[in-house]
Amino acid sequence: MVRQAIKWVKANQDLLIDISDQIWEFAELGLEEYKSSKLLIKTLNEAGFSVKSNVADMSTAFYADYGKGKPVIGILGEYDALPGLSQKALPFREVLTEGAPGHGCGHNLLGVGSLGAALAVKEAIDTGDVKGNIRFYGCPAEETFNSKGYMIREGLFDDVDIAMTWHPDNFNRLNLMSSLAVNSVVFKFHGRTAHAAGDPQNGRSALDAVELMNIGANFMREHMLPDARLHYVITKGGDAPNVVPAEAEVYYFVRAPERHQVEELYTRLINVAKGATLMTETTMEIDFLSGMYNTMYTEVVSDVISNSMRNVGAPRFNKDDKIFANELKKSMPKDSLEGFYRLIPPEMMEMAKAIFSQPLNKIIIPPIGKGKVDPGSTDVADISWKVPLGEFTTACEAMGSPGHSWQNVATSGMSIGHKGMLTAAKILAISALDFMRNPDLVEKASKEHDHTHKDNPYISPLPEGLKPPYHRLKK
């Protein structure tokens, strides 16, 4: 079965590359991935999957099933791009379409690598080698809010036994680090307009409230956990300096290593905002956009994936790929790998230096990072609290390529990204088949997950009645 799955991915690599490249060209922002989701759905329909689209109040969210009975193996796919990162598949900065989005996180690869795995498992089900249900989840807007949390809230993961995903990266490695839990929220202040010079006494500036809130939040940083984070941008501040702004708003991320810590910081931040309204005689409303958990991987699932990574091996890059990557490295910050060095135990440091000196990662890196916290956030974390989950990365980027960068857009649209994507499809496929032919593994993973969360179950961070934030999309 392992050989069959790998053989299927290899035989169909041109199809998968073509779909990935089309999504790379579409480069659609979160909740607006209309062409991307349509192409994925079309491919799954043609393969005989049963597809449910427009799920969880999101027009670009869907899931697709093939097979029946147990186990239900869920493979997660994403396909949203990032704003302002348009880039040609070249090793130097050259915009494809001025001001347009680009796949700076490689989600064109992520979605199609997961798709390839689901299609390969479908072939094994058809031949009778395994029994069960393979399910592909089309998850929009990972970059901006918790689409997977909405899907969980709708019960779309209630029957899933095992979930797996992957992500493009500099490295081929098993993900063991947690991520930061987060709240994403906009504070809107309402004041009273007036002529700023001729009638200032009658004005109540909403912008003053925003600025005072930000000052309070910045003083609050002194009394937070060292690993917690507050980020903000002022998204509305008025139109002219001689008009007292009646409306202003500020957009915050509140992050911390654990969900309860985010809730505590968020409560304090709301009090800071309330204080700003008292000082300025304004009013305030909260537009809560999203909340996410911290990631908690299941060891049983991680072990299966790790074994599959060893069986498949790293992507095999050629001379042209290395030349491309070396050219890209000329545009990268010299200290771009500093964060990874902090994860390396002393006994592995010499090996790490050798790996980091290469233009592309060409081996499977031994597991590192357990007990550490990645400074980013992801809605994959919510899935990890709901069902047993494992995740890994493959080398789809040049060594040291910054996250969310034009350099990543470049490699996501050419052979470096393609090879990492096809490697990921093989790893996911044989991992899914491993669970399908070994029900004891599924039961063991379930017991581990239940034990981990028995005293701390998943509670949706999304307030009751909250809808996906389509109102925040730019017109």
DSSP string, 412-460: HTSHHHHHHHHHHHHHHHHHHHHHHH-HHHHHHHHHHHHHHHTTS----
* pLDDT (0 to 100) of residue 475: 61
Residues 410/106, Cβ–Cβ less than 8 Å: no
Topology match between the domains 2-179+294-453 and 181-291: no
* pLDDT (0 to 100) of residue 1: 65
* pLDDT (0 to 100) of residue 344: 81
Nearest to 108 by CA among 46, 53, 27, 15: 27
DSSP for 311-331 reads: HH------HHHHHHHHHHHTT
Q: Which residues pair with 50 in a beta bridge?
A: 65
- What CATH fold (topology level) applies to the domain 2-179+294-453? Aminopeptidase (3.40.630)
- What CATH fold (topology level) applies to the domain 181-291? Alpha-Beta Plaits (3.30.70)
Q: Where are the domains of the chain?
A: 2-179+294-453, 181-291
* pLDDT (0 to 100) of residue 153: 96
* pLDDT (0 to 100) of residue 144: 84
* pLDDT (0 to 100) of residue 288: 97
pLDDT per position as a tens digit, 375-395: 889 999 999 999 999 999 999
* pLDDT (0 to 100) of residue 167: 98
Give the residues of the chain that fall short of pLDDT 70. 1, 475
Q: How far apart are CA 133 and CA 415, in angstroms?
A: 32
Question: The pTM is what?
Answer: 0.95
* pLDDT (0 to 100) of residue 354: 87
* pLDDT (0 to 100) of residue 240: 95
Number of residues that this document lists for the chain:
475
User: In which order are the strands placed within the sheet that holds 283-292?
Assistant: 229-236, 247-256, 181-190, 283-292
pLDDT per position as a tens digit, 411-424: 999 999 999 999 99
